[in-house]
Structure 1
Amino acid sequence: MIKYLEKTAIWICRILAGLAGIALTLMIVLACANMLSRAIWVPVKGTFELMGFLGAVTAALSLGFSQLNRSHIAVGLFFRFFPKPVQTFLEAVSGGVSCLFFSFCAIETAKWGMFLVELGEVSETLGIQFYPFVFAVAFGCAAMAFVLLLDIYRTLTGKEPLSPA
């Protein structure tokens, strides 16, 4: 069952990382178009808004993939001085707190997205409904919480994670 969950997490995180890459590419294209347009005539309307939305989506959707690949900054400087059982305990507690944090972020962000749907809230400059971006951030946080939950299991059982590559 755990192998299935790990493979599912890897599959989900790869898709989300691909979407984050698309959002980052759109940010680059938009920034370049805005600079070129500004030099020739007028800036692209709503660039600041779209850059904010796409930046949030890029960061949130890449969280799980980053955790899978351990490409984030880990604060474990003092862990190595403790005996192995204490290290395992501290890693599990750290993972548990992180998992709870990202679960809370996902739930509250999704609630905010539902609130925006009910209100019919639109962005100030472009007038677009931005709740899809909010839901994307919530999904990215939920994926991170899922990966962290699997990490806690692996830490406590001493199992090696599946390679995301």
Structure 2
Amino acid sequence: MIDILDKLSTLAARGLTFLAGLFLVGMMALACANMVFRAVLNNPIQGTFEMMGFMGAVVAAFSLAFAQRQKSHIAVGILLTRFPQWVRRSADALSSAASCGFFLLCGMETYKWASFLIMTGELSETLQIVYHPFVFAASAGCFALSFVLLVDTLKTLTAEKVQ
């Protein structure tokens, strides 16, 4: 069962990272187009800063799960290396479980905020577009990270040896 969950978390992380890459390419294209329009036509693209912020949030949120899968986040383990294996395993599992809970709450609150934006009909300041899809995307990134952390917790608790 853990192997299936591990494969699902890998698939979700890779899929979101692919989408993050597409958004990053979009950000670069928008930035370059804005520079060209500003230099050649002396007329920048309206709302570039706003769209860069929205897309940047999606890139960051969609990259979280993959970074966790790759263990790219910082971890301080200097002190734990001196403890017995069961202490290291417990600390790792507790840390992953607490992080899982935190990002689950972040995802839920972000989802509630996006739902509130729909309910109120709020639009972005400059472009006057709906921006709740970007907030839902950030929520999805938090949920994906929470899932990866849950799988990490389960793998730590069932592993024979602590990495």
SS state of the match for residue 28, structure 2? helix
Distance 1:11 1:116 in 2: 30
SS state of the match for residue 62, structure 1? helix
- Structure 2 match to 1:137: 138
- Structure 2 match to 1:95: 96
Per the TM alignment, residue 88 of structure 1 is displaced from its structure 2 partner at its CA by 0.8
Distance 1:64 1:109 in 2: 16
Give the counterpart letter for 1:10 in structure 2: T
- Structure 2 match to 1:81: 82
Distance 1:97 1:11 in 2: 23
Distance 2:137 2:160 in 1: 31
Per the TM alignment, residue 97 of structure 1 is displaced from its structure 2 partner at its CA by 1.1
Distance 2:67 2:160 in 1: 19
- Stretches of structure 2 that go unaligned for 5 or more consecutive residues are none
Q: Which runs of 4+ in 1 moved over 4 A?
A: none
Superposed, 1:52-63 pairs within 5 Å as 52-63=53-64
1:152 aligns with 2:150: no
**Contact persistence 2:2–2:155 (CA under 8 A):** no
Identity of aligned residues (%): 51
- Stretches of structure 1 that go unaligned for 5 or more consecutive residues are 161-165
Distance 2:78 2:112 in 1: 36
Give the counterpart letter for 1:63 in structure 2: L
CA RMSD of aligned residues (A): 1.3
What is the TM-score with the length of structure 1 in the denominator? Answer: 0.92
Per the TM alignment, residue 126 of structure 1 is displaced from its structure 2 partner at its CA by 0.6
Deviates more, 1:5-14 or 1:109-118: 5-14
- Distance verdict in 2 for CA 1:34–1:159, change over 3 Å: farther
